[in-house]
Amino acid sequence: MNHACGIDFGTSNSTAAIYTDAGARLLALEDGKVTLPSAVFFNVEDDTLAFGRAALGEYLEGYEGRLMRAMKSLLGSNLIDAGTEVGGRTLAFRDLIGRFIGEVKARAQQQAGHNFDAVVLGRPVRFVDDNDAADAQAETTLAQIAGDLGFKHVSFQFEPIAAAHDYEERIEREELVLVVDIGGGTSDFSLIRLSPDRRGKDDRSADLLASCGVHIGGTDFDKRLSLACVMPELGLGAQLKRGAAFPSSVFFHLATWHTINFAYTRKMRQTLHALAPDVTDMTRFDRLFHVINQQSAHHLAMRVEDTKIALSDTESVAMALSEIDEALVRDVSRQTFADAIADEITRVGAAAMQTLNQAGVAVADVDTLFFTGGASAVPALRAAMAALFPAARAVEGDAYGSVGAGLAVVARQRYG
């Protein structure tokens, strides 16, 4: 009986997997689907927590409560020990993460038909950029949460390396592979030598040439698209009567998945009320208060996310913004999106090149770019990678399942 599992706690989606005689098996976590959106909704009316698609559904149906997404982004930050206020009480972010991962574990055990006492958790190459202490603390926090959930053995594997293990299960020849894992919160790269002969070995340290990552992912792309196309409709960029710019902090909160709830606080409302006499554009100011009072910013964030995804297949999207104004529609082009995330794409490309530099490997030596992660399909990202590695062939992994499946392979190697 397999007592170990792999869990990919993702910024946007999470998976769990085990290794069987037939290979890695992703477990169905919700409605027959192997992904569980990393979302928690506290329903004030029923005093209950809902998870995944059910959480998003209750929020969209208009139940009173609080929705949390992108909780993984809180790991390593000074917000992890803070919380969000719901119904007159504070829900600690650390506890919410624990409740969510505990739900993943419980559902995975139900699907597997037995309990798990060992887990390999995926982790980005960097939880936090340029702060080793905060990065280490993020892993420690996640390990403590897993231990509190009853896992006796907890270990970690870099997410792109886990994806490489999944890819290696089906290759037929040796390849030098750059794994390009663009998730919801981070972009991670691993340069690794893979082959059919190597995949059975426990010690792969000689095959892993380098890993690098940057704290940029799909939710950052959402934020930049929102700041470019949605937040100006609420007043971003407006001037106050005294000549100063309207404070931007509220718009950054509203455009960022894991800080949206901060825009709903009493303190933020008081700050905005104090600005009212100095406002020049009352139409957009009223729109801002409407979104805050209705707590509809998550609806807007979902529309932005849907637009981002659609722009991978079409050149232009008509984004309806009925939460702001029933008649408001913004036409968003693929080029507008590319312009909005240009700086982020440059930093992601630099992280890819840093991976090669660490290994002392030339661009021409890379055989394969293995793409995984939900944001890996963004056209601007793919164009940048193609320009950096013109001779490498692109291979598509399972955008949401490669990491989880690879973690199951690692769990088998470590725990039997």
pLDDT for res 83: 85
| pLDDT digits 0-9 by tens, 377-390 | 999 999 999 999 99
pLDDT for res 110: 97
pLDDT for res 115: 96
Predicted confidence (pLDDT) at residue 204 exceeds the cutoff of 90: no
How many other CB atoms sit within 10 Å of the CB of residue 168? 23
Query: Mean pLDDT score of the chain, rounded to an integer?
Result: 94
Share of the chain above pLDDT 70, in %: 99
Overall average pLDDT of the 85-89 stretch: 77
Predicted confidence (pLDDT) at residue 162 exceeds the cutoff of 60: yes
**Residues in a beta bridge with 318:** 331
Which of 412, 380, 414, 359 minimizes the C-alpha distance to 179? 359
pLDDT for res 91: 84
90: pLDDT confidence band, cut at 50, 70 and 90? confident
Instruction: List the Cα angle 412/25/96 in 5-degree steps.
Output: 85
The one-letter amino acid at 135? D
324: tokens are 């702001």
> Counting Cβ atoms within 10 Å, is residue 197 exposed (0-12), middle (13-18) or buried (19+)?
exposed
pLDDT for res 226: 98
Determine the CATH number of domain 4-171+398-415.
3.30.420.40
- Rounded-to-integer distance, Cα 330 and Cα 321, Å: 7
Overall average pLDDT of the 182-197 stretch: 95
pLDDT for res 82: 87
Overall average pLDDT of the 219-239 stretch: 97
177: tokens are 């592979």
Predicted confidence (pLDDT) at residue 10 exceeds the cutoff of 60: yes
Overall average pLDDT of the 67-92 stretch: 87
Report which of residues 205 and 109 the model is more confident about: 109
Choice among 189-203, 237-251, 295-309 with the minimum mean pLDDT: 189-203
C-alpha neighbours within 13 Å on the C-beta side of residue 199: 20
pLDDT for res 274: 94
89: pLDDT confidence band, cut at 50, 70 and 90? confident
What residues does each domain of the chain span?
A: 4-171+398-415
The conformational region for residue 54 under phi > 0 = left, psi -120 to 50 = alpha, else beta, is alpha
- Rounded-to-integer distance, Cα 114 and Cα 204, Å: 30
pLDDT for res 324: 95
Residue 365's φ and ψ, nearest 5 degrees, are -85, -15
Predicted confidence (pLDDT) at residue 2 exceeds the cutoff of 90: no
Residues 147, 150, 152, 154, Cα dihedral to 10° = -50
Predicted confidence (pLDDT) at residue 180 exceeds the cutoff of 90: yes
pLDDT for res 194: 96
pLDDT for res 183: 95
| pLDDT digits 0-9 by tens, 31-69 | 999 999 999 999 998 889 999 999 999 998 988 888 999
| pLDDT digits 0-9 by tens, 340-356 | 999 999 999 999 999 99
C-alpha neighbours within 13 Å on the C-beta side of residue 214: 18
The one-letter amino acid at 260? I
Which residue stretches of 93-180 are H helix?
Answer: 93-112, 132-148, 159-168
74: pLDDT confidence band, cut at 50, 70 and 90? very high
pLDDT for res 203: 76
